[in-house]
Amino acid sequence: MPNLGELRFDVATGINLGTRARQEDMVVADFPFGAPVGFAVLSDGMGGHSCGDVASGIVTTEMFSELKLLSADPEQMERALGDVLREAVTDANRCINHYERQNPETHGMGATLIAPVLFENRLYWISIGDSPLYLFRDHKLYRLNEDHSYAAQIDRLLARGLMSPEEAKNHPDRSALLSVLAGVEIAKIDCRTEPMTLQEGDIVLAASDGLHTLSDSRLARVLSKNANQSGAHISESLIQAVTSEACQDQDNLSLCVIKVTRRSALQSVPVKSGSASNTPQVTTVNTGQVVKIDRNVHDGTVRTLFSFSRKVSK
């Protein structure tokens, strides 16, 4: 069991427009230096619905504000974390409902949510929708949270031999969501209230469904190849891997990488901007503060990426 005082979190976020006309993803993270608690909030506005970017902004802002306020008392926050997370989700959902009533033209907007929360090396989360949360450990990839989409049900039918691979891949309802924050009753909530203990070498990855352009095996290979690099480098590598697929209908992509390492293992790896016009341009900033997303993204480049580490208290 490693000395917790020697572990660090190397955190990076990234966002990419894909081939979409507007950015409907939003991601923020807060891991202050020396603090015993850190968290990220990622939300994907419902594509094809009105004002998905507004919905993801509401969800992210409300969740972040509530978690940041309560993180001033980490011990109390962790003891009541299940109630804290569910109440924050309820408030965010209520805000969407209020916004729709004030702005009828936005009726039908909604967003997914994935919010990992860490107290020292103890991982919790809450999620709604299909935005995945992964753990990469010992070169193996694990999906941690529930998938609230028909894709999960379709894949179960495929596994049972009740549907062909071609039918499963092209099923018209594959991307339909079973649960989402849309200002009405939330059908399903995945709220982890028993901690998962992280260890040195773990990589926690939260992302929007734009990451699903990569198969699980391809995703695992990218993470394995870059596992010894910084969180910022891993983020850039994932975005470039998605971009290299050249998917004609590539969705918005947002992600947050949380790498568990030792202080001596943290590498200061410069991130170089690619020269080709279709290569994501990445900027890194060393900071302990929240970096917010610039929504004025029109050329498919990465506008926000930051990386830093914090000490985990004993």
Annotated domain spans of the chain: 4-311
Tokens of 284: 């890194």
Q: Can you tell me the distance from the alpha carbon of 297 to that of 99, in angstroms, rounded to the nearest whole number? A: 24
Closest among 252, 239, 305 to 278, alpha carbons compared: 239
**255: burial class by Cβ within 10 Å (0-12, 13-18, 19+)?**
buried
Spell out where 31-144 has E strands: 37-44, 113-119, 122-128, 133-137, 140-143
In degrees, rounded to 5, the angle at the alpha carbon of residue 292 between the alpha carbons of residues 98 and 308 is 140
Ordered strands of the 133-137 beta sheet: 140-143, 133-137, 203-207, 253-262, 7-16, 307-311
The helix/strand/coil state of 127 is strand
pLDDT of 98 reads 96
Q: Can you tell me the distance from the alpha carbon of 207 to that of 224, in angstroms, rounded to the nearest whole number? A: 17
pLDDT of 263 reads 64
Q: Which amino acid belongs to residue 286? A: N
From first to last of its 314 residues, the chain has per-residue pLDDT tens of: 334 557 889 999 999 999 999 999 999 999 998 789 999 999 999 855 568 999 999 999 999 999 999 999 999 999 999 999 999 999 999 999 999 999 998 988 999 999 999 999 999 999 999 999 999 999 999 999 999 988 878 888 888 988 888 888 888 878 789 999 999 999 999 999 999 999 999 999 999 999 999 999 999 999 999 999 999 999 999 999 999 999 999 999 999 999 998 765 544 443 333 323 333 333 222 223 333 333 333 333 333 333 333 333 33
Ordered strands of the 25-30 beta sheet: 25-30, 37-44, 113-119, 122-128, 190-197
Q: Can you tell me the distance from the alpha carbon of 258 to that of 313, in angstroms, rounded to the nearest whole number? A: 17
Please write the tens of the pLDDT for every residue from 56-105.
Answer: 999 999 999 999 999 999 999 999 999 999 999 999 999 999 999 999 98
Given 3.60.40.10, 3.40.640.10, 3.90.420.10, 3.30.40.10, which CATH number is that of 4-311? 3.60.40.10
**What's the start-to-end Cα distance of the chain, in Å?**
13
Q: Running DSSP on this structure, what letter comes out for residue 162? A: S
pLDDT of 273 reads 31
pLDDT of 50 reads 64
Q: Can you tell me the distance from the alpha carbon of 21 to that of 32, in angstroms, rounded to the nearest whole number? A: 34
> Can you give the pTM of this predicted structure?
0.81
Q: Long-range contacts: 136-141, Cβ < 8 Å, 24+?
A: 136/202, 136/203, 136/204, 136/205, 136/220, 136/223, 136/224, 136/227, 137/199, 137/201, 137/202, 137/203, 138/201, 139/220, 139/224, 139/227, 140/220, 141/216, 141/219, 141/220, 141/223
How crowded is the C-beta side of 74, counted as CA atoms within 13 Å? 15
Q: Running DSSP on this structure, what letter comes out for residue 111? A: B
pLDDT of 199 reads 95
